[in-house]
Amino acid sequence: MFKNAQIYRLQKNWAITAEGLARHLAPQAFTPLGSLDMQCMGWVPARDSSNGFVHMVNRQFLLRLQTEKKILPQSVINQVTRERAKELEEQQGFPPGRKQTKELKEQVTDELLPRAFTRLSSMWVWIDPVNGWLVADSSSPAKAEEALKLLFKAVPKFPLETVRTVMSPGAAMTDWLASDEAPESFTVDQDTELRSTAESRATVRYVRHTLEADQIRQHIETGKQCTRLALTWADKISFTLAENLSIKKIALLDVLKEDHEISGKNADERFDGDFMLFAGEMAKLLSALVAALGGELPDNIERDGQGRITEGAA
């Protein structure tokens, strides 16, 4: 279901029902763009066959945030503005000034917006109140923040925090490569990125390439740190871990899908089965990943610039 994961910590056993959460989200229901609006977003049912904003299966919540955006390139606005400015110059005998040009640009934008094409996109949000996770299916933290802002606005005292681990993902991935040893239940795959911590920010990428331990160590010894690493967990899920603890390229492996094959079901039952499979295995993966990074960091502890706990902290 999800291809990406921006991961956040939710208070475990959060005392809210799917119906209660749906009531909070109802005022933020998606409404199509107005003729002069550039962008709008809001919640839509996770399934077209459902009227609710919260789809629940086995105490797991699934939300879908929909965004509609006008496609009006700045280059088009600038081109039409220049043409209008030239016409205005011929009429008044002198070129428009800065204020007049700004007003002209705003007028052109208002005229073009109703005729602009629109693009619809959606983002899945999985809430696991049992194990305390919230995951947004976005490759960009900024996009995920858009969903979080709506949730914070809709739900009073929404109990969400960032995930802080004892060892930073960048430092941990670098150590795994340097020792040529992945943590328990994980294996290292063939994609990685190493970037210099020096001002040059020199970067080396391996794509579908066998990672030779000696070569990788040479890069690390020259000051490079791993910023992205392809991994497989328990022979069930492959993914790429980034230095900010986000996950990309999530793929459930065939052995897992075969074990949970759902046949003879209708579309809604297959959807629920897929969601149950994803949520159950992903929750285990997140717990294993946090454990591989040394566990969660208490609020009163900080890490140094190398991603490790500062000396003397306790």
Q: How far apart are CA 304 and CA 311, in angstroms?
A: 9
Output the pLDDT for position 255.
63
> Is residue 94 located within the same domain as residue 79?
yes
Question: What are the tokens at 34?
Answer: 């107005």
Q: Which amino acid is at 117?
A: F
| Beta-ladder partners of 66 | 42, 122
> Is residue 148 located within the same domain as residue 194?
no
Find the largest Cα–Cα distance for the chain: 77
Residues lower than pLDDT 50 in the chain: 311-314
Output the pLDDT for position 311.
47
In angstroms, what CA-CA distances link 255 with 26, 157, 259?
A: 39, 41, 6
Look at residue 248 and tell me if it is in a domain. Answer: yes
Look at residue 304 and tell me if it is in a domain. Answer: no
- Whose tokens are 């949970």? That residue is 260
Look at residue 307 and tell me if it is in a domain. Answer: no
> Is residue 98 located within the same domain as residue 218?
no
Q: pLDDT tens digits for 130-172?
A: 999 999 999 999 999 999 999 999 999 999 999 999 999 999 9
User: What's 208-263 look like in SS3?
Assistant: CCCCCHHHHHHHHHCCEEEEEEEEEECCCEEEEEECCCCEEEEEECHHHHHHCCCC
Residue that finishes a domain, picked among 100, 133, 162: 162
Output the pLDDT for position 202.
87
> Is residue 62 located within the same domain as residue 174?
no
Q: Which amino acid is at 162?
A: T
Report the mean per-residue pLDDT for the chain. Answer: 88
283: domain range?
169-292
> Is residue 121 located within the same domain as residue 108?
no
Say how far residue 277 (Cα) sits from the centre of its chain. 20
Look at residue 297 and tell me if it is in a domain. Answer: no
Look at residue 1 and tell me if it is in a domain. Answer: no
Q: What is the DSSP string of 164-219?
A: -BSS-HHHHHHHHHHHT-PPTTEEEEEEEEEEESSTT--EEEESS----HHHHHHH
> Is residue 136 located within the same domain as residue 17?
yes
> Is residue 226 located within the same domain as residue 278?
yes
Q: Please state the pTM of the whole predicted model.
A: 0.83
Q: pLDDT tens digits for 180-210?
A: 999 999 999 989 999 988 877 889 898 988 8
> Is residue 12 located within the same domain as residue 148?
yes
Look at residue 142 and tell me if it is in a domain. Answer: yes
185 exposed, middle or buried (CB, 10 Å; 0-12, 13-18, 19+)?
middle
Look at residue 308 and tell me if it is in a domain. Answer: no
> Is residue 229 located within the same domain as residue 260?
yes
> Is residue 14 located within the same domain as residue 150?
yes
Q: How far apart are CA 233 and CA 174, in angstroms?
A: 18
> Is residue 156 located within the same domain as residue 37?
yes
Output the pLDDT for position 263.
54
> Is residue 122 located within the same domain as residue 66?
yes
Look at residue 240 and tell me if it is in a domain. Answer: yes
Number of compact structural domains in the chain: 3
